[in-house]
Each structure stands twice: as C-alpha cells, then as structure tokens.
A and B are shown apart, each in its own frame.
Chain A
C-alpha cells in the first residue's frame, strides 16, 4: 500500500518536475512567469500524438511503434522549441524594457491564443494517445508499476541530469548563469544575451513538450490539458525556490508525493487532495518564503 502510493506519487511528481523546469529557467533569466508554458505543453502533446500516429501507420505494437514514439518525441520537442522561441521573439522581447506587468499580460494572452487555437483546430473532445508499448502493469513485490510509469521516471531523470550538467558544466550553461545573475554585465562580458534568452525558451519548451506527451498518455489530449498541469508545475517551481533548477525538480517530486500521500495518510476524502497538497505548500512558503532551495534576494539599491 505504502509503496504503491509512493510509486504513483513519484511518477506524477516526475512530470511536474519536468514542466516546472521551464518556469524556473525563464524566471531565473528574465524574472518573469511565462504563463503560456502550460499551453506549450498541450501543443507538444498534440504534436506528439499526431506525429506518433503518422510514423506508426498501422503497425502493431513492437519495436517499430516504440521507435516511432521516440521520433515523435523528438519532432514535438523540436516543434515546441521553435514555438517557444517564436513566442518570445513576438510577444515578450518587444516588452523587455516595459513595466514588469506587461510581459505577464502578454503571456496570459498567448496562453488563451494557444488553447483556443487548439480547440478550433483540433476540437474540444479528448483524443486518445495510444501507448507505444504494452502497458500491462508489472508486479514488483506487490506493487503494480506500469511500463508507462517506468518510462516517465527514466525519461525525466535523464533529462534532468542532462540539463543540470548542461547548465553547470558547459560554456553556454555558464553564459546562462551569467545572464541570470546580471544581464547588463553579461552583455559587457561579450555574452550574446538575446541568444541565451532564446536558448532558454527553446530548452524549457522542449522539456514541456516531452512532459506533455508523457502526461497525455494518461490524461488524453484536450485543449485545456496544460491549464491544471501547468498550474501545478508552477506551484512546484515556486515551492522549490523559483529560479533554482534543482529546486524545481525537488518541488515537482514533492508536490506529486503530497498529492497522493497527504490524503492517503490523513484519511481525508480524495476529493480534497488538491486542498491538502496546496495547504502544505502554503506552510512551506510561510516558513521559507523563498522556497526550499531559493536564495534570499537582496534588493539592489
């Protein structure tokens, strides 16, 4: 029972973490919340589903379907990376020196355009995203775990490690960190700040696309898919300390576990699971307003 809830919570958290990374990276660099992030996730899920169905054709489950799924993930991630960069160029960049609220409103506008556009293009009903493999659960010591859950854990773990290495160990990662610390100084040091910002949006959106695909197997594809999932991931990013990449991962996993556990342990009806999870997050923020791993920022005078 305990391990079953733990497995379910961990996989849910893995997806939240993947999406939270996008919020946190953009915030780290631009100090702005990209509210369209959840809708990019939704677009990623649709593109993934369409390209999977296209590559797969009529093939029965097997190596080919899995290969087409990997292809579909790459196509969708690439598409969303470009979409993210495009949105940044069109809707956020012109407002970079405007008041801080302007890009926020612009982001909310983009979010509506994406979700209504999806409803118009693809309809409002849920569409099924077929599993690329046999999803019969495996029983491991009394705990049922599906191949899909294993996939989520493996994919999100790999992506998080790769991202962490990229940011910490590469030149571009260093440029990113510098830009996040101080844009003007970074510019003086010869860093192409515009390029770094584009790259940030591309990486964040590609991760969102993969998160969207992983969650769409479970939740199906529909135009408001990104709304609740995006909100949860945003909360995870804040709880973990927004702007901090490790914090976003931690926050995501924590939220996933809280959602499944908070209720199971306290014996409160499941209908209130979000209430419990969010109440605990409020508590965390009351004790540590900057989030679990966030640094307390001193206002520059």
Chain B
C-alpha cells in the first residue's frame, strides 16, 4: 500500500516537473531581466534602493508598450549580501528563469562570484555598484554603471597627499573584497606620491567592536585614518573612535554616501572627508528620475539606485535591437555610445568599465558638501574636472 502511494507521488512530481520545463522553454523568448542584491540584512538598504530603480525602469518601459508589444519582466533575487546566496540566485535566474541579462549584484564580493558564472553562461551583467577594480576583468560580459575603485583608490591616495597634505596616514578596513580593494588602490597611489601608510588595522566581517584597533591607531601618531567600509561598520568605528579619544580626521569611501550613516552615527560624522563617484549633473533627466522614484516608492534614490536605473534602461535598449539573444544583447551593450541616463552621459571603456570621475565630499555636521570632481592622468597627477 505504502509502495503504491510512493509511486503515485513520484509520478505526479514527474508530470509536474515536465510541465514546468515545458513552460520554461515556451517562455524563453520573453524579455526577462534578473536582479541580484541584498534585500534583507545589514546591507539591505543598498539592495532595496537598486531593486526599486530597476523596477521603475521596467514598469516605465512596459507602460510605453514594452518591446514590440511584449512585456518585460524583472525577477529580483535576494543575496542577503552573501556569496553563497548570490550563487544560488544566479543558478535560479540562469537555468529556471532563463533571463536575458542581469542587473547587479550590488555588493562587490557577490559580484565576483556571480560575475564568473555570468561570463561562463554568457549572460550580460551590469552592476550598478560593485566597485572593485578587478570585476570587469572577469570577462567581456561584465559591465558596470559605477566608477571602478581603481580610480576611486587612485583619486583618494593622490588627493590625500596633494590637496590635504597628509604624509603619514593609518587605515582600518574589514576583510572583504570591497574594503581591501579600496585600501590597496589608495595605498598604491599614496605611496607612489611619497607618503606612508604606517599603521594598518583590520577587522572581520560582522565585527562590532573595533576599540582595540582604534586604540592602536590612536597610539600610532598618524595624521588621518582611512576607513573604506560599509555603513554599519563605519558607524561603529566613528562612534568608538570618539570613545577611545581619537581626534585626527577620518577619510572614507563611497560607502559613506548612504544616508543611513547619519541615522546610526550622526553625532560623529562631522569633518569626515570621503571620495565617491561624481554626482549626477543636475540634468532634467536626473530631476525627472528622482521625482518619479519618490512618487513610486516614497523615498529619495541614492547614487547606486540612479546607476541601477540606467543599467536597466541600457539593457532594455539593447534588447530592443538585439531581441533575447544574450550574445547579441552583450554586443549592443558594449556598443553603447553617449547613452543619456539619469546619472549623466554613459560610455563603456573596452573592458566594460564606466568612463567617469570621482568627487570629494566633506561632511559638515550631517550634510556632505561637494568639494570638486577629479580624475588621475597617466602620470599619476590629480586633474580637477569640475
């Protein structure tokens, strides 16, 4: 009796899975875009902002008739900010959802793992926010609508030396790809100029207590401390730095552009100087995007969301002319020329990097004040572009 039941159940499951496959293959020429980012957990603010932006772009395209009358579908997966969950997500998106292209991943560590997978499967991927210099080196299917850390680290190191006049600084970073990448880039540029990074402290992902490292930094007589990390970690560091009595200024990275930092550590952000991608020019398109985003989600988009909006639109445009063929879509994306997006005019370098600049901000109280935009030329000299 029991055996018969089991056979019956297996048979039903088999039929069900067959019909599932059938559905997948009949749907394969629909326009599906995947999204991967942290939608829950400490870094979820980054992910949710970006997912909403991608959603907005897709909804707008659909409201205008989709592509040749066909609707575009956005399938968003939660990476929880972890590599393992990111890999599970791309597995699902590529094999069972059969997406044409991917927006994301949002975080650098996940982007490395998922990028490998996208390259192997031939899925065009555009990250709105993964900044590690090496990400686009994974291969020709990997793009991004954010400036590479290569440039961020370079501008940071050069600016700290040339403009701020520091010769000896310290650094505290958490051991993940994003923070380590920024630290390496900054250090190379700073030391090439002749400065020294004399005290380097590290922490683990998930650490909340940085007092020991900060106490060491306090006793190392550095002129400033560079903390290239994510929001929650930087909030801990700034607050605890005040507690162990550190008085030298803090320098930071684009992770500081998330307004959450002021909610978590608003009393300690005054005087922080950070390097982040140059802001969107106040174009009509940017204003329009911001107001549409606010109307749809009741919150203002951050810079990563602006990038995600542009990334999604670039993919939609590419699908308009190339259909659902992943290789053809990849070629269209690579051929993008002067795409006018919400973040400005977008061009991709041959390796898939965004052609762009870095901006410097100084925080006064809890308000970042723009100090100018910079690039670094081939000889390692700082060039102000705005």
Contact = CB atoms under 8 A, between A and B. Distances in A.
B264 A220 contact: yes
A137 B219 contact: no
A136 B267 CA distance: 11
Nearest to A128: B264
A270 B212 contact: yes
A218 B219 CA distance: 22
B245 A125 contact: no
B211 interface: yes
B202 A269 contact: yes
Interface string B2-19: 000000000000000000
B42 interface: yes
A218 B208 contact: yes
A135 B243 contact: yes
B321 interface: no
Interface residues of A, number: 31
A124 B41 contact: yes
A204 to B, nearest CB: 23
B244 A4 contact: yes
Interface in A123-141: 124-126, 128, 135-137, 139
User: Which of A4, A125, A219, A274 counts the most B-chain CB atoms under 10 A from its CB?
Assistant: A125
A270 B211 contact: no
A27 B152 CA distance: 53
Interface string A217-252: 011101000001000000000000000000000000
Interface string A174-202: 00000000000000000000000000000
A39 to B, nearest CB: 17
Interface string B235-267: 110001011110000000000000010011000
Contacts of B202: 269-271
A124 B212 contact: no
Contacts of A125: 41-42, 44-45, 260
B213 interface: yes
B211 A260 contact: yes
Chain B contact residues: over half helix, strand or loop, or mixed? helix
B212 A5 contact: yes
A4 B242 CA distance: 14
B216 interface: yes
B209 interface: yes
A280 interface: no
A30 interface: no
Contacts of B41: 124-125
Nearest to B200: A269
A285 interface: no
B271 interface: no
B41 to A, nearest CB: 5
A12 interface: yes
B175 interface: yes
B139 interface: no
A146 B215 CA distance: 14
Contacts of B219: 1
A289 B245 CA distance: 41
Interface in B280-335: none
B44 A124 contact: yes
Contacts of A136: 242
A276 B40 CA distance: 31
B203 interface: yes
A271 B175 contact: yes
B72 interface: no
Interface of B: 40-42, 44-45, 175, 201-204, 206, 208-209, 211-213, 215-216, 219, 232, 235-236, 240, 242-245, 260, 263-264
User: Which 3 A-B pairs have CB atoms at the shortest separation, nearest pair first?
Assistant: A219-B208, A144-B245, A271-B202
26 contacts: A8-B215, A119-B40, A124-B41, A125-B44, A125-B45, A125-B260, A126-B264, A128-B263, A135-B243, A137-B242, A144-B244, A144-B245, A146-B243, A148-B243, A218-B208, A220-B208, A220-B232, A259-B212, A263-B212, A264-B215, A264-B216, A270-B202, A270-B203, A270-B216, A271-B203, A271-B204
Interface of A: 1, 4-5, 8, 12, 119, 124-126, 128, 135-137, 139, 144, 146, 148, 218-220, 222, 228, 259-260, 263-264, 269-271, 273-274
